[in-house]
Chain A
Amino acid sequence: MSYQRYCLVCNSSKCGHYSKAIADNIKHYLRENNIKDIKVVMTECFGLCKQGPIVKIMPDNIVYSGVKPMDTKEIVEKHLINGEVVSRLVHENKKSKQLKIVLRNCGFIDPENIDDYIEKDGYFALAKALKMSRMDVINEIKLSGLRGRGGGGFPTGLKWEYAYKQNSDQKYVVCNADEGDPGAFMDRSVLEGDPHSVIEGMLICGYAIGSNKGLVYTRAEYPLAVKRLSKAIKDAREYGFLGNNIMGSGFNFDIEIKYGAGAFVCGEETALIRSMEGERGEPTSKPPYPAESGYWDKPTNVNNVETFANVPVIINKGANWFNKIGTEKSKGTKVFALAGKINNVGLIEVPMGITLREIIFDIGGGIKDGKRFKAVQTGGPSGGCLTEKDLDTPIDYDTLLAKGSMMGSGGMIVMDEDDCMVAVAKFYLEFTVDESCGKCTPCRVGNKRLYELLEKVTSGKATFSDLDKIKNLSNVIKDTALCGLGQTAPNPVLSTITNFWDEYVAHVNEKSCPSGQCKELIRYIIDHNKCVGCTACVRVCPVYAISGKVREPHTIDQDKCIKCGACYNTCKFDAIYKK
């Protein structure tokens, strides 16, 4: 049955609280009015979480934001029946700078319905590719300029060609869906919102390199993604897109899901392969590359979710369409997970070459609570921070590297004036120390020592020679660690020490934290002019550090104070301040 209109209700994390009630209400009013040619679909994140819950009407392309269950009657009666837009709910479109290739279907189709995907030209690219020669498919990907979206940015076509040239009875296609970068959720959204695009990308890759077996390595922490993907694989088998003699071409291919178990290092391709074999996910040195000797020592091509999702579009629209988007060396778009101290949190997809200013201020709606922008971390724990002076730099793989950061998988964490950059560097390093597999010494021992040095800085015990040590040690680790995780671990440190040298100096010289974040360097002090002696602070202090008589100004014993901030949060008279 064909539908006249589609009513899309966002069902992702934030809107999800209301989405069921909203969808049920809409269905109820449609039934009440005996309307059958409008389909209500639960979809994934529109990237407007701050303005949620979101309802979108297609093909009218009207987005309603801040929709409450009680608004549904108006939407149904006014818009769906009379075709009149409910103007008070229309979302002001600030997102025109986006371009959706990877997220083309996310939020527009029912991810659990294969027919929806087919209706959007799904599996057309596969049919087209199967009529091309294998080398022609690879050349098309090479010509498109597509680079790996997992972080490194290696040209995808070259990777495929390398795997294609291997002579072996068995080759594997692996989809890396082990999205471990904290603050990044691009792959999860693609798997949850458009699983078939990943399956189709893997199929085309399998055909091109001569493989009949695909594996998706995903996190056990993403149950919905796993559920949607499993359903998609099952449906694709039923429709004959997976299995033997696909579309009568004689090409066989099937996909299996493998689960990770929570290890960040498994995003590194050699570690990922070890983990799929049921081993500890420790990386091995390259060469040999997985393309020569990977899963069970067979040639293996590993690409990430976003990379695969790009493939069907490239085949459908042609390499020459794709390579007109972006910059000279970085083609196409990139999905970013915009989070932190920003107004519009959510997923965005933008053409390569867009500036940070456009992302943060136009799309992201600026900094929360009107605070001042300080920095943005890209590339997660492997990347670095960009500051105010970088706001107008076009973003692509190479400019980010030149700035001491990296593209990474696409996490973008925005920080404001209240964030201490030394503490941020320490936070990222703590993450990598925690996730280090322990195989090589520079990472296992070096990063731990580096972390301890940073701890000295944030507790006000460091000297200038420690700052030199931090720089030297960082460079040694970069040069000597075995895998990407270790080599890039010092990046956040180096990048903050370069960009925010003054903050480091303040911690060392004045033993103070300019942002008031480093606990050991804060002192809570009671302003005797404002204190009325209500004793509220005395009652919340867990270590009995506050003394004073009722209705007389109180004092905090700095030797006893553990700087928990309970008194600061409790005082109703603003009499306690941080110094």
Chain B
Amino acid sequence: MKHVKMESYFSRLESFIDSLEDKKGSLITVLHKAQDIFGYLPEEVQSFVAKKLGIPRSKVYGVVTFYSFFTMTPKGKYPISVCLGTACYVRGAAKLLDEFKRKLEIDIGQTTKDGLFSLDGLRCVGACSLAPVVIIKDKVYGKVTVDMVEKIISEYKALGVV
């Protein structure tokens, strides 16, 4: 089943690359699409992109690792991003991040063993009036305090792996 799913992912990516009018300079566009499809950019996907675009794998890897938006590890079902922009920082974002790390027992860039949560810091989402801000999947939590962390996590745990 999983194998079939991966194959359909690759064929979707392939038809996207084939549909590009001009492949010159399209690497970042293609990687955005690939991450959209696969959720992350493992080595196989990078090799595939390199072959399709006719460029060295080293170049693809270079670009993937340069930009913070691209990730080589799969994200959790509920990716948690703690904003570390300046406005959130002066309103205590660092303490929030520590609390998430402590409660989930993972560091930045890691995913919990059950695959539910991954933790990241990000730089300013432009919602500074709500500082400090935490984003979980597409939901924005504003004015988060250390006490709220436990409750927020258990909310998602209750939703489970469905």
Q: Are A280 and B89 in contact (CB under 8 A)?
A: no
Flag whether A542 is at the interface (Cβ < 8 A): yes
Q: A182-B124, A276-B25, A419-B90 are in contact. Are A261 and B62 (CB under 8 A)?
A: no
Q: Which of B29, B63, B125, B127 contacts A279 (CB 8 A)?
A: B63
Q: Are B28 and A14 in contact (CB under 8 A)?
A: no
Within 8 A of A (CB), among B86-124: 86-87, 89-91, 95, 98, 102, 122-124
Flag whether A339 is at the interface (Cβ < 8 A): yes
**A side interface size, CB within 8 A:** 52
Instruction: Give the shortest distance, in Å, between B106 (CB) and chain A (any CB).
Output: 16
Residues in chain B near residue A296, CB distance under 8 A: 25
Instruction: Give the shortest distance, in Å, between B122 (CB) and chain A (any CB).
Output: 7
Tell me the nearest residue of chain A to B27, going by C-beta: A278
Q: Which of A180, A278, A415, A424 contacts B63 (CB 8 A)?
A: A278
Residues in chain A near residue B84, CB distance under 8 A: 182
Flag whether A144 is at the interface (Cβ < 8 A): no
Q: Which of A345, A380, A424 contacts B128 (CB 8 A)?
A: A345
Q: A340-B86, A340-B90, A413-B90 are in contact. Are A188 and B126 (CB under 8 A)?
A: yes
Within 8 A of B (CB), among A521-579: 542, 564-565, 569
Q: Are B89 and A427 in contact (CB under 8 A)?
A: yes
Flag whether A437 is at the interface (Cβ < 8 A): yes
Residues in chain A near residue B26, CB distance under 8 A: 278
Residues in chain B near residue A413, CB distance under 8 A: 86-87, 90
Instruction: Give the shortest distance, in Å, between B151 (CB) and chain A (any CB).
Output: 16
Flag whether B131 is at the interface (Cβ < 8 A): yes
Residues in chain B near residue A260, CB distance under 8 A: 28, 67, 69
Q: Are B86 and A427 in contact (CB under 8 A)?
A: yes
- Report the bound CA distance from A514 to B114 in whole Å: 43
Tell me the nearest residue of chain B to A48, going by C-beta: B129
Tell me the nearest residue of chain B to A345, going by C-beta: B129
B interface list, Cβ under 8 A from A = 24-29, 31-32, 62-63, 66-70, 84-87, 89-91, 95, 98, 102, 122-131, 140, 142, 146-147
Q: Which 4 A-B pairs have the closest CB atoms?
A: A185-B126, A261-B67, A182-B85, A49-B129
A interface list, Cβ under 8 A from B = 13-14, 49-50, 179-185, 188-189, 220-222, 258-264, 275-281, 296, 337, 339-341, 345-346, 377, 380, 411, 413, 415, 419, 424, 427-428, 431, 437, 542, 564-565, 569
What 7 additional pairs, Cβ within 8 angstroms, besides A339-B87, A413-B86?
A13-B127, A179-B126, A184-B126, A339-B86, A345-B131, A431-B123, A569-B146
